[in-house]
Amino acid sequence: MMENKKVKEHVKKRYGEIAKTDCSSCSLSCCSSSSCGPPPQYVSWKLGYSPGDIESVPEESVLGLGCGNPVALASLKEGETVLDLGSGGGIDVFLASKKVGPSGRVIGVDMTEEMVERAKATALKHSYTNVEFRLGEIEALPVEDESVDVIISNCVINLAPDKLRVFQEAYRVLKSGGRLMVSDLVTEGALPEEVRKSFDAWAECIAGALEKSDYLEKIATAGFTNIKIISQRPYTIDVSPELRGKITSIQVEARKNP
């Protein structure tokens, strides 16, 4: 329990620093150990966001974080309520808000206070009326039972020490027939023990990654069905040579049956 607490404290500190950074010319990537790299817009293109996606959201929300683009595959419809687990600067929330329209709603939950404040300020500055950002942990979502149609997440669940609890919470807040669409990192084979024990590797989305089969099993254990890997590819952005070929970026869809 204490170890999990230390992991969360380290992750919150790391992302609190990112939230306070001017990211217009320097990227503090989720999966990068460097403090400065390519502009976050460039990193976001490599992750799967189109130039049109980047141009359609506030610049302040583009931090170059993540390992995919869950909104692109979520098939969002007007009027739906969407929940983003680990919303960060809000890029996926703002993208989703355009798809669900004024009759829909998008909620972002993040455990880092600085990220939530940054996203709230961005929403206010750019007059978004159908989005909301809440401070909370994804293992204990500040969201009512069966209140959302779709859950998305972008390279955040691997940061949670108790991933089964995350998927159980996702199941709880989804409406009957609701769907889950997450982008995340998983492993192909065991990681070196020194990586698993590194707090920095946790914050870089590596140490907390589960083996792919274990990840999918936890989704099923939480109650989801129709679990499908929609896409997968080797993850190589700032991955050290000894880990090349062991980290995979996947996008997974699952359903809460009626």
Decide if 111 contacts 8 (C-beta within 8 A): yes
pLDDT confidence of residue 48: 66
pLDDT confidence of residue 176: 97
Overall domain count for the chain: 1
Interacting residues of 258 by C-beta distance below 8 A, sequence separation 6+: 176, 177
CA distance 44 to 42: 5
DSSP state of 70: H
CATH number, domain at 204?
Answer: 3.40.50.150
pLDDT band, residue 40 (cuts 50/70/90): low
pLDDT in tens, 66-115: 888 889 878 999 999 999 999 999 999 999 999 999 999 999 999 999 99
Enter the pTM of the model. 0.90
Domain that holds residue 216: 2-255
pLDDT in tens, 185-212: 999 888 888 888 887 888 888 889 999 9
